[in-house]
Amino acid sequence: MTTNGRNSYPIYRRRQNGRSVVVRTATLDNRWVVPYNPFLLVKYDCPLNVEVCSTIKAVKYLYKYVYKGHDWVSFTVDDGVDQRDYDEITAFQSARWISPPEAVWRIFRFCMNEIHPNVVPLQVHLPNMQLVLFCLNQTDAYARTLLYQKFPEHYVWLGQKDEKLWLPRRKGFAVGRLVYTNPTEGKRYYLRLLLANVRGPQSFEDLRTVSNVTFSSFQETAYQRGLLEDDNSVENSLLEASNFQMPFALRRLFAILLIYCTPKSPRLLWDCFSSALSEDYTLAFLENPRRVPNLMLRSICCIIESMGKNFNDFDFGGLRLEDENIETHKAKEI
């Protein structure tokens, strides 16, 4: 059977089926044949073997290899005369070497790599903190019907020397994603919340205006628009973070939300995200799952106490800590 070699390539199963061939006076059988795909061999007419990516290490290696950039080489050019006083700084050459296939590929302007669909990160800047300001919503009526994250789907950036502006998209497809913000960031978090839900604001003042009334802060505006009437914003923050944050970071975020966002129902949030909050403990204590909730609760308590608060300050609907060896828990957390 095929097995994973230790710190090596997979060890493939190659049966002895009795068939053999003589190659340069050597008798070879099926055990000498590397994994291959007949279709790919005929299509590309070149030696091509097929490997199985069966471990996360292999996937990470391939991902890094694709994006590692071009090859580098250290070289020197001299006239063959022995130089005792050699100035390395002056003689330094910044260059790169490419193979003939890559040279042909670049000459014909073939794509070196491709990511589909194209994901455009959209920054969230507070007033007077952005690098550049665009007034597309003031000049384009259709743009005022879109949410901020929908802009890359309908517009493209023309960044030539003579003119730099947004133009309607005619081909291709792109997805816009607002950068992640933490509720502890205050103004920036509420600004992101408004940008994700308000269509076509023409200025920061316009973004803070509801029913012809301009409010003094983004947080107050979010309340007036009904974006913070319940725990939806806190729940959405945890839901978004649970897609990419590790369990310990997610528990820290959970504690931060409890302290600074004062959700109405901490127990409801606990019940909704308990599986994501305790994923590491669940894997570590498969034989004793009863310990998982208590370990998760103790971890959150430690984070809350480090911020000067107490677990009893929040209503968890009867959840209580059980006595457990704190030192063992801390070792597990590390």
Joined tokens for residue 95: 């260059």
Q: What are the residue ranges spanned by the domains of the chain?
A: 1-71+94-114, 118-224, 242-333
108 and 163 in contact (C-beta within 8 Å)?
Answer: no
| Residues facing 26 on adjacent strands | 23
pLDDT given at position 73: 66
Neighbours of 332 (CB within 10 A): 15
pLDDT given at position 333: 47
Neighbours of 295 (CB within 10 A): 21
Alpha-carbon gap, residue 295 to 318, rounded angstroms: 16
Joined tokens for residue 243: 């897609």
For the chain, what is the radius of gyration of the CA atoms? 30
How far CA 290 is from CA of 209, 251, 285, in Å, comes to 51, 19, 9
Q: What is the pLDDT along the chain (334 residues), one digit of tens a residue?
A: 777 767 666 777 888 888 899 988 889 998 888 778 889 999 988 888 777 666 767 677 777 777 776 666 666 667 777 666 767 777 777 777 778 888 898 899 888 777 778 888 898 999 888 777 777 888 888 988 999 999 899 998 776 666 677 889 988 889 999 998 877 677 888 899 999 999 989 889 999 999 899 988 887 888 888 887 666 778 888 998 988 889 999 999 999 888 887 676 788 888 899 999 999 999 988 888 888 988 999 999 999 889 888 887 777 777 777 765 544 444 344 4
Joined tokens for residue 120: 């455009």
Which phi and psi (to 5°) does residue 160 adopt?
-80, 170
